[in-house]
Structure 1
Amino acid sequence: MSWQAYIDTSLIGSGDVDQAAIFNSEGTSVWATSPGFSLSPTELQEVVGAYKDTSEPKKVQSTGLHIAGQKYIVIKADDTSLYGKKGRSGVVIVKTKQALLIAHYPETVQPGSAANTVEKLGAYLVSVGY
């Protein structure tokens, strides 16, 4: 399956996510993205920096995170997952060995459903070496 197919089928096709992108784990290369969903290099470095931060709680939990031009309050930050909320919509970010999955869910989707969809794809990618 192509990286774009993971976006189109596994993420957006689930109905739990309305925008998504897959980057390499350093945030320097776009592997696939949904139309109109783009992150700046600065935003990607915020994400990568949050994963490199070993403090508890992570700094991003007090500063927030910028994704596709929007600021999100970070409600979960661990070694593999970052969850952000803005109103009733939000983002779920999952890091695998080689990839960053960044997904946005709309107000009409329960955060847990979106998180489950993205986490399942992340676990699958880890199981096949990514």
Structure 2
Amino acid sequence: MDTSSVYLQRVLGSGCVAQAEVLRMDGTVRTSTGRLLTTVQEGRRLVRLFEAPADTIAAGITVGGCTYVAAQADRRLLHGKRGSAGVVVVRNPPFIVVALYEEGHRPADAVLAVGNLADLLASRAGGPDSPPGDPAGPQAGL
């Protein structure tokens, strides 16, 4: 099991999200906590939405065949809602982290935990001397 899988499992275990995966910057899946959330086409569309976040408001955020209404969109964060569930997508090269939260999860906790995970994975990708951290630790607001 690679490091990103371990960190995904920690975030999943924190109770902030129901499912998560890590994409490469080309939109392909690197690792997932279970069944894949995104198709290759959806992953590539997410990459394009980060380049033109204003398009997200009109198009929504599609993950797993479901389209979420954009609640927030910028060059780092895409956050969409569908009823009381939602999707959080955070870009921090060389990775994009995608996570779903369900009814009962606090959206703010999901956004924070996914952002922390993206930061951690990006810092770890910098080399073997990068400091380890815990994306679901106290900084996640748990």
The verdict on a shared fold, with TM-score over 0.5 as the criterion, is yes
Distance between the aligned counterparts of 2:118 and 2:37, measured in 1? 20
- Structure 1 distance, partners of 2:75, 2:61, is 16
Structure-2 separation of matches of 1:66 and 1:128: 28
| Structure 2, unaligned runs of 5 or more | 127-142
Aligned residues of 1:25 and 1:96 also touching (Cα < 8 A): no
Aligned AA (2:5): Q
Once the 2 structures are TM-superposed, how far is the Cα of residue 116 of structure 1 from its aligned partner?
A: 0.9
Task: Give the corresponding residue for 1:99.
Answer: 95
Aligned residue number for residue 85 of structure 1: 81
Deviates more, 1:11-20 or 1:35-44: 35-44
How far residue 91 of structure 1 moved from its aligned partner, in angstroms, is 0.7
1:2 maps to 2:3:
yes
Count of residues in correspondence between the two structures: 125
In angstroms, what is the RMSD of aligned CA positions?
1.5
CA distance in 1, matches of 2:44, 2:115: 21
% identical equivalent positions: 28
Any idea what SS the aligned residue of 1:51 has? helix
- Retained in 1: the 8 A contact 2:84–2:102? yes
| Stretches of structure 1 lacking an aligned partner (at least 5 in a row) | none
Contact 2:12–2:19 (8 Å) recurs in 1? yes
Q: Which residue of 2 aligns with 1:36?
A: 35
Among 50, 55, 60, the residue aligned to 1:59: 55
Structure 1 residue 126 displacement after superposition: 3.3
Work out the CA distance in 2 between the residues paired with 1:66 and 1:59: 12
Distance 2:37 2:15 in 1: 20
The TM-score, its normalising length taken from structure 2, stands at: 0.81
1:128 CA drift (Å) = 3.6
Give, as a single letter, the amino acid of the residue that structure 2 aligns with 1:60. Answer: T
1:25 aligns with 2:21: no
For 2:98, give the aligned amino acid.
I
1:15-69 alpha-carbon deviations (Å, 9 max, x no partner):
10110110111213x211121233112211210110111xxx6111111111011
Distance across 2 between alignment mates of 1:36 and 1:27: 16
Gap change, CA 1:38 and 1:126, over 3 Å in 2? closer
Task: Give a deviation string over 1:47-100, Cα, whole Å, max 9, x none.
Answer: 0110111xxx61111111110111101111111110010000001101111001
